[in-house]
Structure 1
Amino acid sequence: MERLLSEIRSCQVCKSHLPLGPRPVVAAHPNARIVIIGQAPGTKVHETGIPWDDPSGRQLRKWLKISDSVFYDESKIALMPMGFCYPGRGTGGDLPPRSECAPLWHHALLTGMPSLELIILIGTYSQHYYLGKNVKGTLTETVKRHQDFLPKYFPLPHPSPRNRFWQSKNPWFGKEVVPVLQKRVAGILDLD
């Protein structure tokens, strides 16, 4: 695993497409029980090199009901995005994750974590990649039908502060989905 992580962290495949240059951000360990697959690092995470080290990460940890120390314990939770480097800025926010990363690195990472019990898919990019034809018509429908993908996958919206409107429009998420997520995560990590 260490050799693989070293290869990923020194990857230059997309260098010419990255406005801030390559800085792959990933955290994994052979003993990880949960993997969280997000979109791509933002500028703050690119700067620090720490996955989910931003307001979105704080919200995600609230949804999971876990401390920073549990979240960043690679032997418990692996953190890998669809695109490992900051992709740049578009008109409505950050650009989509680079498409080269997931086919290049995901299989090897997942294979190197034989104890995985849950793959949390954050946002449409990871959901479309992993759920394929089983993904529902919209992110809202996919998240609402989260039970269809258990026990292996758990689809979530992005925890970005920009998605507050989505959360206020879909109160069922906090009432019905988040408690199921918290119970599943606590059970896997023996946090009860």
Structure 2
Amino acid sequence: MPESLEQLLAQVRACQLCVHALPLGPRPVLQAGAAARLRIVGQAPGRKVHESGIPWDDASGERLRAWLAIDRSVFYDPQKVAILPIGFCYPGRGQSGDQPPRPECAPRWHARLNALLPRVSLTLLVGRHAQAYYLGPTCRATLLETVRAWRSYLPSGYLPLPHPSPRNQPWVARNPWFEAEVLPSLRRAVAAALAPERLQVSAAQETGPVPGQARSRRRRSRP
């Protein structure tokens, strides 16, 4: 009998594969629902996210949501947005920032999770680790080159982005084309991926209230 997404998520959240290498112990942080249409693949949770257990629950997340032009209610709806970092657990600190994601995580879980997300139409690859894993040999030599080539990946459903960490603000400042060219297209692509939900609302508005509702409103409006 094939496994369900709920069963697989329970397995991921109970994973002990890297317990020996995690300074704060395992606490996988991810989000997914079978109806999700947008997938966000980042690097690994930071310390604050490890403590809260909520993906992108930090300054980087605030900036990412601003880039996407979506609010927290949409971002944290697993039936709209799947969030699958390359490493599900906080890897600890290194000499200059957090350690890279554990290498065991993505090969163990991502293909199985993605197989249960059939409605995803757009995948955002946030940071070098996500881009290298998902783009494979088509990934360019540097993050700068990969992000600049974003148009070449979009037909395959991928859109590479720099990490939205405040530490990367100098990168954004040095590359004004990112905010001028990529962000408007990113927002359109995200809106298109999430469009079915908005289209349903628009269709309901266009058809107007059902007859019973209309009569009820007319009765309430009588003096």
Q: TM-score, normalised by structure 2?
A: 0.85
Where in structure 1 do 4 or more consecutive aligned residues deviate above 6 Å?
Answer: none
The one-letter code of the counterpart of 1:24 is: P
The one-letter code of the counterpart of 1:64 is: L
Q: Distance in 1 between matches of 2:136 and 2:149?
A: 15
SS of residue matched to 2:29: coil
Listed as ranges, the matches of 1:134-145 within 5 Å are 134-145=138-149
Q: TM-score, normalised by structure 1?
A: 0.98
Q: CA deviation at 1:136?
A: 1.2
Unpaired segments ≥5 residues, structure 1 = none
Matched, 1:81 2:85: yes
Q: CA deviation at 1:138?
A: 1.0
Matched residue pairs, number?
Answer: 192
Q: Distance in 2 between matches of 1:39 and 1:169?
A: 22
Tell me which structure has the larger Cα radius of gyration: 2
- 1:90-116 deviation line (CA, Å, top 9, x unaligned): 001000000001000000110000001
Q: CA deviation at 1:137?
A: 1.8
Partner of 1:157: 162
Partner of 1:124: 128
- 1:48-104 deviation line (CA, Å, top 9, x unaligned): 000000000000000000010000011010001000000010001000000001000
- 1:11-38 deviation line (CA, Å, top 9, x unaligned): 0000010000000001001110011000
Matched, 1:175 2:172: no
Listed as ranges, the matches of 1:9-158 within 5 Å are 9-151=13-155, 152-158=157-163
Q: Distance in 2 between matches of 1:129 and 1:27?
A: 19
Q: Distance in 1 between matches of 2:128 and 2:33?
A: 25
**Structure with greater contact order relative to length (CA < 8 Å, sep ≥ 6):** 1
Q: CA deviation at 1:187?
A: 1.3
The one-letter code of the counterpart of 1:168 is: A
Q: CA deviation at 1:135?
A: 0.9
